[in-house]
Structure 1
Amino acid sequence: MAEEAEGSLKRLLVPFLLPEKCYDRFFIDLDLLDFPCLKILISKGLGLGIVAGSLLVKLPQVFKILGVKSAEGLSLQAFLLELVALTGTITYSVANSFPFSSWGEALFLMLQTITICFLILHYRGHTMRGVALLGIYVLILLVLLSPLMPKTVVTLLQATNRPAVIIGRLLQVITNYRNGHTGHLSAVTVFLLFAGSLARIFTSIQETGDPLMAVTFIVSSICNGLIAFQLLYYWNVSIPHKWEKKHQ
């Protein structure tokens, strides 16, 4: 019975959270302070936690837009650039066969981000443009994920992540500054994105060893931190009653 339980535990943990050598170190040798294996366990745990959390991280933003039936204060250009960055992460990670725990949240964030882009267009009276955006994006993503796509193109797209993230976040920062408030930005989403990007710095270094991925998340953390600061700064500022078309 004990052997069956041990076998079940091993199948559960290896290789999702631990390589076999670390499982043996923890559960057979009972060396619970093995630093290299602890780093792997923390990284894997954080990665899977971020992927799981990414299923919900932007839903508060989606629900807030739907609830108020407005995208006041949200920069469409910022979300589109974020979509470019997420797409680069997805395609680069798939092309390099990185573990899903190191990039899976980008997939779920991409789905939520394209939904927000559609809602922004919809509530600004451009529903058909939103539908066209969805169709065009799906086609582009399928092409980028195709085995026929040259790896140099995918690497170049990943290299554009940093400027895309910086420009996108700065556009939202500028929008907030000009408006004097953060509009209908969701505080839950903003702070979860900030925390997630900070954790991703560690997991990307630990799991991929790719400096390009690590730098992308460092830049993303700084930019997300700026927006989080603005959200706190403008916390008690009320949103003026302005019609959405003023921001078209």
Structure 2
Amino acid sequence: MDSKCYTSLVEKLDFSDVECVKLALSKGLGLGIVVGGSIVKVPQISLILRTSDSSGLSVSANVLETLSYLITLFYSYKNSFPFSTYGENVFLGVQNIVVSLLTILYGDSPNASRRTGDTGLLTAFFVAAIASLNSMSLENLAYLQLATIPLSLFAKVPQIAANYNAKSTGQLSAFAVASQIAGCTARLYTTSTEIGDSSVQAAFGLALVLNLIIGIQMFTYWGTLRPRLVPGK
């Protein structure tokens, strides 16, 4: 917080300043989201490793979602936004890369060598994407930030469609879905309070709607297992 709000809230314990209270709430929520973002995908990763099964997870959806996280990360960093307004994208990006790679490794393809090769290609793709985003100008990143809106749509629609067709959410983690819903809701507040960037707010608004749809699917199809393909059958 700035010195004015620090003096008002911390030293004088004066909570009548609405703007400072809103800022303090935003900072608290923002830091909470950053901390939560560091573990939100861990249950999903653990579930895949424990069951050796990635059924119900869409590689394309995870890759597009990861790109959205990385674009927002570099756009926010180069705009010098407060870390509390975007820091979770660091952890979500890394965790989503791991989920994407595990989705291929434990996928339904009976060809193990092909799965390994696809994993290597996807790793190279992510490395190239990070290097490209890091070297981009702020102007180009601004265009890409606008692109995260349709990117979020394309990232979630395959997952929503797969859930609907199978009438199951497979190995999706309920904790991850619930955390994303809560995180997007809180991010709408923090970004409007601290940075006021309409492109970032629009991206979080759409992400919230799409995550809510997946949450409703998870509730509707709870307990329904997705059939797993058996190699050779």
| TM-score for the superposition, normalised by structure 2 | 0.92
Aligned to 2:30, the other structure's residue is in SS state: helix
Query: 126, 141, 145: which is aligned to 2:130?
Result: 141
Cα deviation 1:41-78 (Å, max 9, x = unaligned): 00000000000000100111100011110110111111
Measure the CA separation in 2 of the matches of 1:203 and 1:209: 9
Q: After the TM superposition, which residues 98-109 of structure 1 pair with which residues of structure 2 at under 5 Å, given as runs? A: 98-109=81-92
Single out whichever of 226-235 and 32-41 deviates more from structure 2.
32-41
Match of 1:53 among 36, 56, 59: 36
Would you say 1:239 and 2:222 are equivalent positions? Answer: no
Name 1:172's counterpart in structure 2: 159
- Report the Cα offset of residue 244 of structure 1: 7.6
> Unpaired segments of 5 or more residues in structure 2?
none
User: What secondary structure, in the 3-state scheme, does the structure 1 residue paired with 2:56 have?
Assistant: coil
Residue identity (%): 36
How far 1:84 moved relative to its partner? 1.6
| Residue 206 of structure 1 pairs with residue 193 of structure 2 | yes
Partner of 2:22: 39
Structure 1 unmatched runs, 5+: 1-17
The Cα of 1:21 is off from its aligned counterpart by 0.6
Q: Which one of the candidate residues 213, 216, 220 is aligned to 2:203?
A: 216
Q: Which amino acid aligns with 2:196?
A: G
The one-letter amino acid of 1:185's match is: L
In structure 2, the CA distance between the partners of 1:117 and 1:241, relative to structure 1 (3 Å rule), is closer
Q: CA deviation at 1:127?
A: 1.7
Matched, 1:24 2:7: yes
Amino acid in structure 2 at the alignment position of 1:157:
L
Q: What's the C-alpha RMSD, in Å, of the aligned pairs?
A: 1.6
Separation in structure 2 between the aligned mates of residue 86 and residue 241 of structure 1, nearest angstrom: 30
C-alpha displacement at 1:223, in angstroms?
A: 0.3
Q: Which residue of 2 aligns with 1:79?
A: 62
Which protein shows a greater Rg?
Answer: 1
In the comparison of the two structures, how many residue pairs are matched?
227
Partner of residue 146, structure 2: 159
Work out whether residues 80 and 117 of structure 1, in 8 Å CA contact, stay in contact via their aligned partners in 2. yes
The alpha-carbon distance between structure 1 residues 21 and 235, as it changes in their structure 2 partners (threshold 3 A), is same
1:195 and 1:241 map into 2 onto residues whose CA distance is 31
